């Protein structure tokens, strides 16, 4: 089931919940139960990022969440480095990492968001540089398409790079909003010339992406504050939010938090 295109969809990233679970033996909090509550509260989709070190989401989480998303009729978005191959588990109680493409092949998510993360990165912090030879990445995109899976590339708001993303077969881009969120956080009274300038740059990139046939997603450090402005990005189809939403839920409660994000994004 496709996410609605007449509103900006909220896909909740479950990484932080899995991080809490992995800090103790057992399965508490249960990722599937938590995801079920998030969907019941109004979220439009689920996002996970299974890294090779399995610091949070594990491969088996992806398969269980696909079963849930299929039952609920919502989208599962799996993020990851497309070049990440199989490797041994970092812990005895974890299964081995089968490689990102194998996870996609088994989970069959509706969307795969490809990110240029290295294993050593704390979090995603830049978009793809597609100015070189992209034949390997283009081949990977074709393989993912064969799984009946939409492909989104994690990108900076750079027109030339977005053109390259289209040329190698991407269906969407996810604009990296980290620098914008940092600038907005430094603003006074929700106004910052730096944040405004970055937002205009993102708007220009989003309009261009739409004009050449790419859908537009966004993510990284978006929250209830900066979304007051960023939700007006032209053609914004989907945002994936995890860190801020998890923190907000500690103060507001899960249901109220998801509801607040949905109302903000859905224009209610």
Q: Is a pLDDT exceeding 90 seen at residue 121?
A: no
pLDDT, position 202: 98
Q: Is a pLDDT exceeding 60 seen at residue 222?
A: yes
49 is catalytic: yes
* Structural domain span for residue 147: 9-266
Which H or E run includes 205?
Answer: helix 193-211
The active-site residue out of 56, 208, 220, 238 is 220
* Residue 1 maps to a domain: no
pLDDT band at 90 (very low <50, low <70, confident <90, very high): confident
* Residue 181 maps to a domain: yes
Domain count, the chain: 1
pLDDT, one tens digit per residue, over 62-77 is 999 999 999 999 999 9
- CATH number of the domain residue 17 falls in: 3.20.20.70
Question: Exposed, middle or buried, 17 (CB in 10 Å: 0-12/13-18/19+)?
Answer: buried
Q: How far apart are CA 110 and CA 1, in angstroms?
A: 8
* Residue 57 maps to a domain: yes
**264: which 2 tokens?**
């903000």
**84: which 2 tokens?**
């990440």
| Residue position matching structure tokens 């900076």 | 156
pLDDT, one tens digit per residue, over 224-238 is 999 999 999 999 999
220 is catalytic: yes
* Residue 150 maps to a domain: yes
Poorest-confidence range of 5-14, 23-32, 43-52?
Answer: 5-14
* Residue 176 maps to a domain: yes
The single-letter DSSP state of residue 23 is T
Please enumerate in sequence order all residues whose Cβ is within 8 A of that of 212, keeping only pairs 6 or more positions apart, or say none. Answer: 162, 163, 166
The active-site residue out of 56, 75, 79, 208 is 79
* Residue 173 maps to a domain: yes
pLDDT, one tens digit per residue, over 12-36 is 999 999 999 999 988 999 999 999 9
* Residue 72 maps to a domain: yes
Alpha helices in the chain (DSSP H): 15-22, 31-40, 59-72, 100-107, 135-145, 159-167, 178-185, 193-211, 227-230, 243-252, 254-266
Contact 22, 30 (CB under 8 A): no
What does pTM read for this prediction? 0.93
* Residue 131 maps to a domain: yes
Which H or E run includes 47?
Answer: strand 45-48
**90: which 2 tokens?**
């970092």
């Amino acid at each position: 089931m496709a996410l609605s295109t007449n509103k900006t969809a909220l896909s909740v990233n479950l990484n932080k919940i899995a991080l809490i679970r992995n800090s103790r033996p057992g399965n508490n909090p249960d990722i599937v139960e938590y995801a079920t509550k998030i969907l019941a509260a109004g979220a439009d989709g689920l996002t996970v990022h299974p890294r090779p070190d399995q610091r949070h989401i594990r491969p088996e989480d992806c398969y269980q969440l696909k079963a849930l998303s299929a039952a609920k009729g919502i989208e599962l978005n799996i993020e990851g480095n497309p070049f990440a191959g199989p490797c041994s588990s970092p812990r005895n109680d974890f299964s081995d990492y089968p490689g990102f493409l194998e996870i996609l092949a088994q989970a069959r998510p509706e969307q795969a968001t490809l990110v240029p993360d290295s294993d050593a990165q704390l979090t995603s912090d830049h978009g793809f540089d597609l100015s070189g030879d992209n034949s390997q990445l283009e081949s990977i995109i074709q393989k993912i398409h064969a799984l009946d899976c939409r492909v989104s590339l994690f990108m900076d708001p750079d027109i030339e790079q977005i053109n390259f993303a289209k040329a190698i077969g991407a269906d969407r881009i996810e604009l990296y909003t980290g620098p914008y969120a940092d600038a907005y956080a430094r603003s006074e009274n929700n106004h910052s010339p730096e944040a405004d300038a970055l937002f205009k740059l993102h708007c220009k990139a989003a309009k261009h992406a739409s004009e050449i046939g790419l859908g537009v997603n966004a993510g990284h450090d978006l929250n209830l504050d900066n979304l007051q402005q960023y939700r007006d990005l032209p053609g914004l189809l989907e945002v994936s939010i995890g860190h801020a939403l998890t923190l907000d839920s500690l103060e507001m409660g899960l249901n109220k938090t998801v509801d607040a994000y949905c109302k903000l994004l859905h224009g209610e």
